[in-house]
A and B are shown apart, each in its own frame.
Chain A
Amino acid sequence: MPLLLALALTILFAGLVAKLWWLVIASLLLGLVFQLIWLWPRPQLAERRL
């Protein structure tokens, strides 16, 4: 997942430099999906005080 999110972000930046706005939007959406998968379940559930 870290690699996929990094790739999505880099493709977004490639879209910015090439001014391919459809690529920017597509990689943004893809990145958001990867991010949701990454953050689920929420990390704070995995900690308990001693």
Chain B
Amino acid sequence: MTAAEYDRIPRLAVRDYASPLAEKLHSLWETKPGVIGWLASVDHKEIGLRYIVTAFIFLIVGGIEALIFRIQLTQPNLTVLTPEQYNELFTMHGATMILWYAFPILTGFSVYLQPLVIGTRDMAMPRLNAFTYWLFVLSGIYLYVGFAIGSAPNAGWFNYVPYALKTFNPSLNIDFYALSNILLGISTTLGSLNFVVTLLHMRAPGMSINRMPILSWGTLTISVGNLFAMPSVTLAFFLLWMDRQFGTHFYAQPTGQPLLWQHLFWMWGHPWVYVIVLPAISMVSDALPVLCRRPLVGYTAVALATVLTMVLGFGVWLHHMFATGLPGLALAFFSAVSIIIVIPSAVSAFAWLATIWTGRPILNTAFLFFAGFIVVFVIGGVSGFMTGSVPVDWQLTDTYFVVAHIHYVLIGWNLFAVMGASYFWFPKAFGKLLDERLGRWNFWLMFVGFNVGFFPMHILGLLGMPRRVYTYPEGVGLDWLNLITTVGSYVFAIGFLLFIINIVLSLRHGAEAGPNPWDAPTLEWTTPSPPPPYNYVVLPTLATRTPLWETRLEESPFQSDLGKGFPLDHGKETLATSTLDGQPEAILRIR
């Protein structure tokens, strides 16, 4: 292709997915057949689905680990597991869930959805996108190879020194954990970079920054956040590996500082909490209004709250270290920020409630999961608010109260939103609707199981049960609550199993979805279900946030032009647009 061809002004063409143009685009963008083609695919939809499937596999593996050690805790003084096995299992469970499930699942949704919702044909760097996926898979395999050869990490997912140093852990277990985290960090950083470029420069013409879906605000915000947060944890693990293998003294006494680990880890670790919930709650902010048949209440406030949460998220890491003897002024500052961060979270919660209140909700499974998410969101937020207070935290730190809080945040804010989003976007990805009857069983078993399983942990913590103990004595009031927790976690697991069954059955026998089963207003619903490899036969031009609802909302005097657009068929081409206004700036050829 010559440079002159790129200098052309693109012509307009009519949107028709059965036209010769569509056939030409199909041959340009389709993944090559066969195993080599599958392995070499860079289609964002295929990569996104692989991310989601792989992350769900990690969720199941991490879940099985939890179910095993819950048996150990069902009654006092059980010896189903040895203390060492128990340490390894809860460490693998935490690491798998937080690092290899919670973020990758959201990355999967983002990789699948972002190019569709912003009206482009792929990510800015499709091969980098594939690279980040493969590196994520291989980093997980790397960690589990260590587990399989008897070198499982055992110092908890936050891996505190000095226990993680060679003095106490002489085998290769912590090295596997440290290096797999560095590998995963490379994947996360590069993936975030890809999202930043894609979302800032590849939106459809007319999609100015204030017309970007909240879903994209969530992904953009956490991607920028990742670029600032990841170096800290990568450095933390690298220094740990140096201490362990080369005898340096970054953390090791007498000259090293064990608290340095905690600072470096939590400087990443707390922003990470927002990284693994903000895209999930952004999915709720986009999908819930569709099911309430009205636009989101307070779009601008929710978008700003998303960004503000991430920014404040960088100023709260010390609340994980309130009990380490830091100066009072530092505690006061970090306690204040930990409490202030409730405000932007509450903005989102009130926006959802107002959207439901003023809308006409469709009470399907996706809506139930989003409604359940809001309930859990509030409970998890309140327990976080409580532990943000220094004197309360001094009482509750390292008890089961904190375990309850982290599960309300990470399962509630992440998994419930992901489940709702799965029911909502599954028809777009596969052209079939998930079964509603099974879906309702799926929701209620998970919602009841979750609350029965995890709410009693708050009380266990208040009664003083420390976290990470492999058993507990009889007759101190912990027996029944632990039994209930175990029962609840198994009910929760059965609920999730129904989701897998629902997917399998619906793929075979599900009702046809059509392009827009929910009567949704955004761009991705203008494509066939599933979308073709090139996404859009012509790149659309937007005039509002809700192009498919323009006639009924009369939001803008301008109308989006979805019937005509830029075909860009001289190769794998798409448009680059300006950051703020979304004006076409260049024709990009994607490789």
Contacts and interface: CB of A to CB of B under 8 A. Distances in A.
A23 interface: no
Nearest to A49: B586
A33 interface: no
Nearest to B183: A13
Contacts of A13: 142, 179-180, 182-183
Contacts of A6: 131, 134-135, 138
A16 B179 contact: yes
A46 B591 contact: yes
A2 B182 contact: no
Given A2-B127, A17-B176, A10 B585 contact: no
Interface residues of A, number: 20
Nearest to B584: A50
Q: Is the interface of A mostly helix, strand, loop or mixed?
A: helix
A46 B588 contact: yes
Contacts of B180: 13
B587 A2 contact: no
Interface string B181-210: 011001000000000000000000000000
Interface stretch (B2-10, B337-345, B375-383, B490-498): B2-10
- Residue from the set A3, A43, A46, A48 with the largest chain B CB neighbour count within 10 Å: A48
Given A6-B134, A6-B138, A50 B587 contact: yes
A27 to B, nearest CB: 12
Interface in B545-591: 576, 584-591
B585 A3 contact: no
B42 interface: yes
- Residue from the set A3, A5, A14 with the largest chain B CB neighbour count within 10 Å: A3
B259 interface: no
Contacts of B134: 2-3, 6-7
A48 B587 contact: yes
Interface of B: 3, 6-7, 9-10, 39-40, 42, 127-128, 130-131, 133-135, 138-139, 141-142, 146, 172, 175-176, 179-180, 182-183, 186, 241, 245, 576, 584-591
